[in-house]
Amino acid sequence: MTEKPSSSYFNRFKKTIIELFLDALRTSGELFKIIIPISIATRFLQQWGVVDQIGVLLGPVMELVGLPGQLGLVWATAMVTSIYGGMVVFASVAPGLDLTVAQVTVLGTMILVAHGLPVELRIAQKAGTRFRAMAVIRIGGALLLGWILHLGYQFSGTLQQANHALWSPDAVEPTWSAWVTAEVRTMLMIFLIILGLMTFLRVLKKLGISDLMTRLLEPVLALLGMGREAAPITIIGMTLGLSYGGGLIIREAQSGRLSKQDIFSSVALMGLCHSIFEDTLLLMVLGAHVSGIFWGRLLFSLLVVFLLARLIKALPQSVFDRYLVRRLKIDSPATEVRCC
C-alpha cells in the first residue's frame, strides 16, 4: 500500500522534531555537566565570603582604571558568578559613589570581557584551549581595555557627566531553596535556547542563509588568520555567548573539522566578545555608554585576536601545543553528531 504524501511529510517532520529534541538534550547534558558542579562550588564560595575577599584584593586594581576601590567587589562577583550577579552588587554599592558615565562604562566593559569565568573558562577548556591561557586573555584583556578606555575618556573629557542607571535589579533571596529554583529555571532556559538555536540553524542551512553568513564572515576571519570552517561556531559564540552556545561549540570542536589554531583563535574571540547584543543592552541599563561596551569591546577583541593569530604562527608548534591548547577526543565519523 502506497503511503500518502501528507502522511510522508508528517512522518519526516515528526522525525526531524525528535532528532532536534534529542540533539538538544545531549548537547544540554554536556553543558550541564560543566555548569552544575561549578555553580554549586561558586555558591559555597559566596557563602564562605571568598568572593568578598577577592573584591577587597581588587580594590587597588580598580583604582588603576580610574574606579573607586569599592567597585572591586562588583567585578569580583561578576567574574565568579555572572553579569547579573555583578549588577545586583553594583545596585547596592554604587549609590553615594558619584560615578560618572565614563566610570560606569569602564566597569561595564570590564565585566563584559571577564564574567562567569568558572563556567566559561571550563567550556573553553572542553573546546580544546588551555584554562590558564584563556584566563589570562579574559582577565588581562578586561584590565587592558578598561585602562585604555579610562585614559581615552579622561584625556578627551567625554562622558564625565553624572551617571543615572535606568534600572536596578532585585536582589535574589539568599536561601538555598531560592538559589536552587533560580538554577533550575536557568537550566530549563538554556535547554530551550539550545533547542531553538538548533532549529534556527537548521532552517538557515536549508534556506542557504548559513552559507551566505559564512561567506560574509570569511574575509574577516581570514584577516584574523582563521579558516572559514570556524565561522559557524564563531557566529554562535559572539551572538549567543559561551554559556548558551557552549554545548554547540564543544561539539563542533570535537568533530575534528577545525584546526587547533582556528579553535584557539575562535574561542579567544568569543571569550572577549560574546553576547554582543544581549549583554550590551544589559549594561546600558546601568548607564554604560555604547562607545565602550559595544564598539570598544568589539574593536579591541578583533585587534587582540589578530595579534594572537600572528603570535601563534611565530610560536614553535611544541610551545603552542603545551601552553595554549589541549588534546581533544575527536568524534569518529560513525558516531559524530552534527548540531545542524
Write the DSSP string, 186-247.
HHHHHHHHHHHHHHHHHHHHHHTHHHHHHHHHHHHHHHTT--GGGHHHHHHHHHH-HHHHHH
pLDDT of residue 40: 81
Angle formed at CA 161 by CA 158 and CA 167, multiple of 5 degrees: 115
Instruction: Answer for the pair 275, 193: CB distance below 8 angstroms, yes or no.
Output: no
pLDDT of residue 168: 59
Helix 176-207 vs helix 209-223: angle between axes, to the nearest 10 degrees?
100
AA letter at 155: F
pLDDT of residue 308: 93
Instruction: Answer for the pair 83, 274: CB distance below 8 angstroms, yes or no.
Output: no
pLDDT of residue 151: 97
SS3 for 169? coil
* Spatial separation of the C-alpha atoms in residues 110 and 139, rounded to whole Å: 8
**Residue 224: HSE in the Cβ half-sphere, 13 Å Cα cutoff:** 28
Q: Locate 309 and state its grid cell.
A: 593569530
pLDDT of residue 337: 33
Which residues of the chain carry a pLDDT beneath 70?
1-7, 30-31, 34, 167-173, 193, 197, 201, 210, 213-214, 243-247, 328-340
pLDDT of residue 85: 79
Locate the domains of the chain by residue range.
5-323
